[in-house]
Amino acid sequence: MVIYYNKNEGLELQADEIINSLNKEIDTQKVQLDNVLKCLEDINGLIQTSDSLDNASELTSLLMNLKENFNYLRDTIANLKKLREMMNSIRISYIGKDITKTKKFDMNVNQFNDLATEVNNHILEDNVKINNFYAEYVKNSDFIYNPASTKVGKDESAEKIKKLSSILGNDDSSEEEIKDNKILLISARKGVVELPYTVSELNKAKSKNGYDSLQETIKKEFTVPISRYRNASIARFREGFNLMRKREGKGLVASMDLALELTFKSLLNPAIITACKSVNELDIYLDCLKSNELEKFDIFEIKYEVAPHKSTVFDE
């Protein structure tokens, strides 16, 4: 894929061959990217349907491996397209001209060859990494394609929601007394996460789902079992995907992209992602977290209730 002519003779033929080779390699890398994305979709399907997993550590390892390959492939495709643009530029600028009278040709060729060599080396390395990922994926395919092997499925999740209602009890408060709630309560003591809401959001959810009261709406739509967040890495992936896909209405790739980006942000409590109404709100929180100025985050208040005699609720 490098240019080896330093004279006009044969340059046009070689340029055509290189551009053709680049187009084929771009198509090959896109197929690899699609395959990795399909694996990611399968893993996401498992994560979305299970609150807790027996194989959480294996899933986290797969996600880390997948994130690396996803980034490698996109970078490689971007560099291949850059090489194609460089080759087209060289072709237009120098074919049919006396290149012996310009030093700029040598400089352009050297730049192209340096990047081409770097990309070729990366493709070889990436192929090894991708094959290793596929081997790991196949090894764990049983629990990916057989959700029954997971610890908690939809039925058990539904049962937990019922238990939550009994734990929280029936609030006799009048509907008129319910006001906007700007507090995200992460309660290990109660075993729940209570999300912030507005009365307008409650009424909309009540009407959409046919709930009997605003209290029922709060329990079913804005109260989450804390077990949903027990494995923080998996929960960050799931909640990040849902934030982008369901609340922002973005495409699959963009949603997967955000999910993978958030997965390994170890300082980010996944319940905070759930509480954010938009990616913009989450970005504001992450900026405050990065600058260690969480007191400046005022979209909603975050409160923790720690369970007695337990050091932590979340596992990475």
Tell me the pLDDT tens digit for each residue of 18-46: 999 999 999 999 999 999 999 888 888 88
Give residue 47's pLDDT band: very low, low, confident or very high (50, 70, 90). confident
pLDDT band at residue 148, thresholds of 50, 70 and 90?
low
- Is 168's pLDDT higher than 50? no
pLDDT at site 161: 46
Whether the CA torsion 199, 239, 272, 276 is positive or negative: it is: negative
Predicted structure pTM score: 0.76
Q: Is 227 left (phi over 0), alpha (psi -120 to 50) or beta?
A: alpha
Residue 313 has pLDDT above 60, yes or no: no
Residue-wise pLDDT tens digits, 213-248: 999 999 999 999 999 998 999 999 999 999 999 999
pLDDT of residue 56: 79
Q: What is the pLDDT of residue 45?
A: 87
Own/partner contacts of 143-147, CB < 8 Å, gap of 24 or more, are 143/46, 143/53, 143/54, 143/55, 143/58, 144/42, 144/43, 144/46, 145/42, 147/46, 147/49, 147/50
Return the DSSP state at 98. Answer: -
Per residue in 174-217, pLDDT (tens digit) is 566 889 999 999 999 999 999 999 999 999 999 999 999 999 99
Cα-Cα-Cα-Cα torsion 137, 60, 69, 49, nearest 10 degrees, comes to: 70
**222: nearest Cα among 250, 185, 262, 251:** 185
Which residue(s) pair with 192 in the sheet? 187, 225
